[in-house]
Amino acid sequence: MFCRNQTARATIARGSALEMEIRRGKFRQSVFMESPQDSDIQKKIDYEIRMREGACKLLAACSQRDQALEASKSLLTCNARIMAYMSELQRMKEAQVMQRVARRSSDAGPMDDRSPCKAKVAISDLRIPLMWKDTEYFKNKGELHRCAVFCLLQLGGEIFDTDMVMVDRTLTDICFDNKIVFNEASPGFELRVELYSCCSEEDYSAGNTPRKLASKLSTSLGRSSGKKMRGTLEPGACSPTSNGGGAAILLPVPSVPGPKYHLLAHTTLNLSHVQDSFRTHDLTISGNEECSFWLPLYGGVCCRLAAQPRCMTQQMMSGCLRVKLGGEPQGWTNVYGVLKGTNLFCYHQKEDMEANVEPVLTIGINKETRIRAAEKDPHSKAQNICISNQYGGEEVTHTLAADSREDTQLWMEAFWQQFYDMSQWRQCCDDLMKIELPSPRKPAIVTPKQGALYHEMVIDTSDDIGTVTDILARRIEEFELRAQLGSPPHWMSLFDEDPPRSPHNHQHLPPHSPSPCHRTPGLLSSNASLTSDSDSPVSVSPCFRQAWSPDTSSSSGRFRPRTLSLDAKLSTLRGRGYGGFRCNCQPPTAGSGSPRPTQTALFCSSSTSSSSSSEGSNSQESDLGFSRPSGARRSLRNLRAKLDPRNWLQSQV
Amino acid sequence: MSFIPGQPVSAVVQRIEIHKLYEGDNLILGFSIGGGIDQDPTQNPFSEDKTDKGIYVTRVSKGGPAEVAGLRLGDKIMQVNGWDMTMVTHDQARKKLTKKNEDVVRLLVTRKSLEETVRQSMMQH
């Protein structure tokens, strides 16, 4: 026997008796007669339970943060749906009980209660503005606090989730591009919008925060971030506050390891919020600044909520009519009438309507229209229908007649229903609101960049290893392949030369032909150089430069030597984290004459840029005798300090 | 071309319009710049006044868009698309030249030879 109290339980523990009962479809054996809707819901519940199991397994198995966040989101959505279906089932059972009770007591209530038509409700272009403190927003240093957020939207029994968006202080708004359409909404609908967020630290995915990547790589988990991590893993110190803001749709998740989402804000929209344009609605925010999942919300959500009642999009009634046209009392014209939206279209014949030919007559049916049945026409058996509209100051009346009394009745009924629907759906019936069907999502196309690493001059941030590492990580696959193919380029032979010799030669080069020499180095300060340098891990640039001749300068300008084992070097990068050297730097300070210090100076100056590449060269250049500072950051800072005032940088544009 | 603090800088300038060229995925101009207020001006081989922290052209690639447009080695860039280049850091200068959505840069450059030319033509009269 299905016990009503059980739906009041917040959790449905897996493997519990109730769940087993659900699985076995115990509801079907309930006292009440099974209706087709029951089995529908049953199927949906079963499906969601399977989805939930899958999500749990995925969550346990996945290693990447992104996957874990997505899986956690699906889990949350599945739970919400299960809850909704369960309560729907419960309601249906109750309704059945009431009906049976009513039948038994032969209490025939008024059966001609009109019910308004259903509508399609669409919500799209959700945008939630954020309100970062200006100090936060312009901060360049410090951890980039990131949160993964998504929205859960529920209307009636339908629950949809939006895509997940990563939010950090560089964003001013959280934008969800999803268009969500609910199909069966009644005028009294309540669309509940909930914003869930989950704190996301230690984001190792390439391309997200290149700035902080290096710092994360080289330093261990700080105390505060460690605390946050722990906070997200346990049930959550903030959950009491997060659930305080009204009943959340979701069930508390059975303890599954992985990132957990918390309710950050919610709001409920109904018919009064429906409009054909964007509107801002207030959000009720739960949680406070102390919570890990906190985001400074401005307090509103902007979206477009549109509704298309069926009466506006579908033909509510159609049939043959006779219309009195013109002034003659006997001038009846046969037409095929179609009642749709705010108009009664009269076509010559049915085929015209299907062929989209212009109707002969269009009679407006709106809130101002008055329809009444006229006195019986002595010449016909049925009553006439008079439709009056106000056009400007004039009242125009059209007289229609159906073929039989039943038809007349049907038409009148249709008109009454239309009026009722319009009164229920109010502003939605003034004009048809456009609803775009959500198009199937296209996978993001990632175009691999052609050309040398140098060409990726898109880094706008200041010198930072992280950026280089980032670019490199993305380029690894391409280079791996290329490096393995073919013989090493001819210039590789240069690297066999004796390094110490080069600076001498370098210094002797006439000042005017710095062109070839300065080419590679030129990029030092600009971020472009970062990439190019990393690309050419062979730091034996003095040697390399030597081989350049002025006439090849322009062509070799874009030419960057590639290492044969870039990937190997890169793997060591993360451990080291600091730039090796690529002595791009220009004519070293004239003061230093000896090759040794020069090299070191050169080395040092390029350190900032050529992070990883230098890594590789380190092994080759061990004889250069540079010291490898232990802390990556410290060395960077030192080197940068040395770099700035001493060299005259050049950039290639 | 020298800068006297407090006095407006005046120079004979030439307008040069460079159309960027697509090289692979990037738009390039075909020259290199050096200098900037954050750089050491004494190392500038092209400047007359060794305290001049302006942006100089240190290399022009042969046949590149810059050379075609008339940019020469040693030119000092005064303006790029209206942005001043006489008092900018090296990186700012580079950025103004390498904006991705612009494929033409209009420079105002000056060089010693321009002044000479003007002086000579003035002397003739």
CA B56 to chain centroid, in Å, comes to: 5
Mean pLDDT highest for which of A213-217, A369-373, A444-448?
Answer: A369-373
Tens digits of residue pLDDT in A620-639: 333 333 444 445 666 676 55
Complex-level ipTM beyond the 0.90 threshold: no
Fold annotation for A314-429 = PH-domain like (2.30.29)
3-state helix, strand, coil in chain B (%, to 5): 25, 30, 45
Residue B78 has pLDDT above 90, yes or no: yes
Q: Are the Cβ atoms of B24 and A450 closer than 8 angstroms?
A: yes
Q: Which of B14, B90, B95 is nearest to B55 (CA)?
A: B90
Q: Do A263 and A194 form a contact (C-beta atoms < 8 A)? A: yes
Residues 6+ apart with CB under 8 A from B70: B14, B16
Q: Are the Cβ atoms of A522 and B45 closer than 8 angstroms?
A: no
pLDDT value for B71: 92
- Touching check for B36 and chain A: CB below 8 Å? yes
Q: Which of A456, A652, A454 is nearest to A554 (CA)?
A: A652
Mean pLDDT highest for which of A285-289, A511-515, A604-608?
Answer: A285-289
Q: Residue B34 — pLDDT band, cuts 50, 70, 90?
A: very high
Residue, of A595 and B74, whose pLDDT is higher: B74
The residue among B21, B31, B39, B92 with the most chain A CBs within 10 A of its CB, best to mutate, is B39
Q: How far apart are CA A505 and CA A517, in angstroms?
A: 11
Tens digits of residue pLDDT in A70-90: 888 998 999 899 988 888 888
Alpha carbon of B110: minimum distance to chain A alpha carbons (Å): 19
Residue, of A436 and A284, whose pLDDT is higher: A284
Q: Do A80 and A49 form a contact (C-beta atoms < 8 A)? A: no
What residue spans define the domains of chain A? Answer: 31-90, 116-201+257-310, 314-429
Instruction: For the beta carbon of residue A625, count every other beta carbon within 10 angstroms.
Output: 11
User: What's the rounded mean pLDDT across residues A17-26?
Assistant: 62
Task: Domain A116-201+257-310: give its CATH architecture.
Answer: Sandwich (2.60)
Residue, of B108 and A569, whose pLDDT is higher: B108
Q: Do B55 and B92 form a contact (C-beta atoms < 8 A)? A: no
- Touching check for B82 and chain A: CB below 8 Å? no
Tens digits of residue pLDDT in A29-83: 444 445 666 788 888 888 888 988 888 888 888 888 888 888 889 989 998 999 8
pLDDT value for A367: 80
Task: Compute CA distances A242 → A10, A94, A146, A154, A255, whole Å.
Answer: 16, 32, 18, 18, 17
User: What's the rounded mean pLDDT across residues A211-227?
Assistant: 49
**Assigned token pair, B7:** 């006095």
Q: Are the Cβ atoms of B24 and A525 closer than 8 angstroms?
A: no
Q: Tell me if A116-201+257-310 shares its fold with A314-429.
A: no
Average per-residue pLDDT for chain A? 66
Q: Which of A128, A399, A72, A147 is nearest to A282 (CA)?
A: A128
Q: Which of A450, A525, A554 sits opposite B62 (nearest CB)?
A: A554
Tally of residues, chain A: 653
Q: How far apart are CA A562 and CA A488, in angstroms?
A: 9
Spell out the domains of chain B, with CATH numbers in brackets: 11-124 (2.30.42.10)
Q: How far apart are CA A27 and CA A38, in angstroms?
A: 8
DSSP A38-96: HHHHHHHHHHHHHHHHHHHHHHHH--SHHHHHHHHHHHHHHHHHHHHHHHHHHHHHHHH
pLDDT value for A361: 81
Beta bridge mates, A191 = A155, A269
